[in-house]
Amino acid sequence: MQAKVIEILTSLAGTRIEAEGKAREALAEEAADMTKGLTSYTLRKALEATADAMPWRLLMEDQSESEPVEVFVKLREQLTRQLIRTTSNTSTCTISNEQGRLKWDGVRRFLQDTDYLVSALEAAEKAAEEPTPAPEPAQPAPGRRPTPAQRKALELIAQGGVKRSQRFKGAIRVGSLNGTIYADTFEVLIREGWVSVDYSQTLFHGQPVELTDAGRAHLPA
């Protein structure tokens, strides 16, 4: 979180300081043109941009702390205290009074623009301090019930004589003397652990198939 906050602060500071530079250049260009008079609009834009950039310049120039986030938090606290104590300018110079007003407007904007970053830092700090809740014990999955076709296959296997076999390169089949057990049904019985196959026998001679206790539990007692 701190790295993200630093990235945002750097981007915002660059934007404000760049805007100040452009406003100053526009004022300097107007002042250099001796054929034209100075306008209050250009002067005001330069004063506003300078006031907006001032807190950001303080933030970027303050290297007293090793952690930039600490500098940011302390600067906000310092500017907040100054803003609370400040009073309106009462100079006889109108421009000086306006300059003072714009300065504190810039401070207010700085505090407003960065308020959400303080909230994000506080939330991250609180989350880091809170103990991680112990995971709830895993609950066993409810037992799956066989479909009517699967139950019928279980009944056929319970009667005995069922074998899994293959002749030459033909398909593997599950043979029963008492009915048909389809391959896809048999795959489900194996996957659910309801039947077992004697793989010690070859497919050519037939691999006996029997019910497991889990499979037998789905049949009437």
Distance CA 74, CA 37 (A): 43
List, in sequence order, every residue forming a beta bridge with 211; answer none if it has no partner: 195
- What pLDDT does 9 receive? 84
Q: What is the pLDDT of residues 168-205, one digit of tens each?
A: 666 778 888 888 898 889 989 998 999 999 988 887 88
Closest CA to 162 of 182, 177, 184: 177
Parse the chain into domains and list their residue ranges.
2-129, 148-216
Distance CA 107, CA 105 (A): 5
Amino acid at residue number 107: V
Residues for the chain: how many in total?
A: 221
Question: In the structure, what pLDDT confidence band is assigned to residue 140 with cuts at 50, 70 and 90?
Answer: very low
Residue 175 near residue 165, CB atoms below 8 Å: yes
- What pLDDT does 91 receive? 76
| pTM, two decimal places | 0.52
Residue 5 near residue 72, CB atoms below 8 Å: yes
List, in sequence order, every residue forming a beta bridge with 197; answer none if it has no partner: 209
- What pLDDT does 25 receive? 93
Average pLDDT value over all residues in the chain: 85
- What pLDDT does 32 receive? 93
Distance CA 166, CA 183 (A): 12
Q: Where would I find the H helices in 130-161?
A: 148-158
CB proximity list for 96: less than 8 A, separation 6 or greater: 89
Phi-psi region at 210: left, alpha or beta (left = phi > 0; alpha = psi -120 to 50): beta
Residue 146 has pLDDT above 50, yes or no: yes
Q: Express as a percent the part of the chain with pLDDT over 70.
A: 91
CB proximity list for 20: less than 8 A, separation 6 or greater: 46, 49, 50, 52, 53
